Amino acid sequence: MPRNGQEVRKRLQWAALELFRDRGYEETTAAEIAAKAGVTERTFFRHFPDKREVLFHGDAAFTEAVTTAVRNAPRTLGPWDTLFFAFDSVKQMFVENRPFTEPRQRVIASSPALQERATAKTRSLTAAVASALCERGLTVPQSNLAAQMGMATLSHGVSAWFNDSSIDLRVHIIRAFQEARDLSSSNVAIPKGTGRTQRPRQKAKQT
């Protein structure tokens, strides 16, 4: 039986991934995950609150890495370039975790319960990124908009990388940001007297 906590969590994660993939999420129990990993059910619940959460261990570390990168980005960078700087800074986490995260995406796509948890995790990460952008001087609405756009763009780049790993992840992220910039460019005439609404600056609420 593995003793190291990190090793136990990793074994539980891989056991869950394999069982969810082979048998389905709904048909798999925490006890079966624990047995496959070579630990007791009690040990499982010492590490994870439920069987859904077992696939999302590591999200907190990723959130911390991204928000720290946003805060530490050069002050000369605007919001969009700040987000690229942050995502580029943590891209190695995607590379190192790909053997797990790529099949995990397929398992999540097959289960409404896992999709719900993944959506909640994405909302939490987006709110954390928005809060970090607020600390750089953006208003709450600006920060929320930038964070949502940035997360969608990052997801687009990572998905493209999953589909074509012959190209470096950084290149996929660059292309995604360029595409988003091109799509957001506009020649629409702004009516005279219409300007940006100035709002009190406050921290974005995390959910």
Report pLDDT digits (tens) over 132-170.
999 999 999 999 999 999 999 999 999 999 999 999 999
CATH numbers and ranges of domains, the chain:
5-50 (1.10.10.60), 58-183 (1.10.357.10)
147/3: higher pLDDT = 147
Distances (CA, A) of 37 to 19, 27, 130: 11, 17, 38
Residue 190 identity: I
Answer whether residue 119 shows pLDDT above 80: yes
4/112: higher pLDDT = 112
Rg, C-alpha atoms of the chain? 20
Answer whether residue 200 shows pLDDT above 60: no
Q: Are 172 and 179 in contact (CB under 8 A)?
A: no
Query: pLDDT tens, 71-92?
Result: 999 999 999 999 999 999 999 9
Q: Kind and range of the H or E element at 198?
A: none
How many CB atoms lie under 10 A from the CB of residue 109? 10
pLDDT of residue 206: 45
pLDDT of residue 58: 85
What distance in Å separates the CA atoms of residue 189 and residue 166, rounded to the nearest whole number?
Answer: 42
Q: What would the mean pLDDT of 94-98 be, rounded to a whole number?
A: 94
Q: Are 113 and 52 in contact (CB under 8 A)?
A: yes
Answer whether residue 57 shows pLDDT above 90: no
Catalogue the E-assigned strands of 65-182: none
Answer whether residue 95 shows pLDDT above 70: yes
Lowest mean pLDDT across 45-49, 58-62, 118-122, 159-163: 58-62
